[in-house]
Amino acid sequence: MKKVDKKFKIIDTIYIVMMILPLAFGIVLNVLTKPHSEGINVTGARIFFTIPMPIQDWVVTEAQVNSLLVTVTILFICLYLTHGLKERIELKRQHLAELAVQKVEGLVLENMGEYFLGFTPFIMGILVLSALSSLTSLLGLFPPTSDINIVGGWAALVFFIIMYYKFKCGPLYYLKGLAEPVAFLAPINLISEFSTPVSMAFRHYGNVLSGTVISVLLSAAFGGLSSLVLGWLPGFLADIPLFQVGIPAVLSLYFDIFSGCLQAFIFAMLTMMNISGGFAIDEYERRKQKKLSQKV
């Protein structure tokens, strides 16, 4: 084996370990810190500790820690997929990386237009971060997307980007747009501006949280059904979780996998439509040409 090949495989191994390590750490942390409870227990993100701050204390929660772990995992997934990229494809992972970029690039081009093609990494980041955050529930972790503070932060970031592009044509053009189609609707239009991030956050948070709650309730219901059906049997036979084996796993295909990935796609689509829809590109190009003509 060549020295270069050994070095390449060592780096690959490090990337793979670092992909798994953050989530493994989250599982261990969850096992060591989660209090024992019996029956149905649906709670929010646990608070690990509080850091005193001048204005307001910084509360470090389970959702924040898990979100950071998912981010680190995504970082090393990207490093692994892009390790050894060449002009001529030699690795299968390069096919996967290029396919992902092409699909998201096509999605951005179709929904936002060529002007926003540079948003491809941002949209891909939203898709992967949201999907993997929701899928952490399969590992027994608290999904960060079930915390309104996490999803609200994403929505606030998108809102600032939307407002940036709305103001690219100038403050007066933006204020004029609030008075359309008639001036007395300006207050309602102003409220609708701020309702955008709120609706995006609550839609994503609510759908993911409801799926988690329903999964817990169904698991508890199947446990009760098992006791009802097998309760008359002697000894340990009465404690066999007959209906808790297999059926909850099938249901999780929807509530944890399909629903989580679907909400990630919806959040990304709303991001693309709100950003591109808020930018008057024709007016921007007209103003740009006008400034260029004045300089000449």
Q: Give the predicted TM-score (pTM) of the model.
A: 0.83
Q: How many Å is the Cα radius of gyration of the chain? A: 25
pLDDT at 74 over 60: yes
**Residue of 149, 157, 152 lying closest to 61 (CA atoms):** 149
Quickly state the pLDDT bin for 279 (edges 50, 70, 90): confident
Query: Which parts of the chain fold into alpha helices (H)?
Result: 3-33, 62-82, 92-112, 120-135, 148-166, 171-178, 186-230, 247-252, 259-277, 281-295
Closest CA to 120 of 296, 280, 275, 287: 275
For residue 149, count other CB atoms closer than 10 A to its CB: 16
Residues 142 and 153: their CA atoms lie apart, in Å, by 17
Average pLDDT for residues 127-156, to the nearest whole number?
90
Q: What is the pLDDT of residues 183-200, one digit of tens each?
A: 777 888 888 888 888 999
CB atoms within 10 A of CB 200: 22
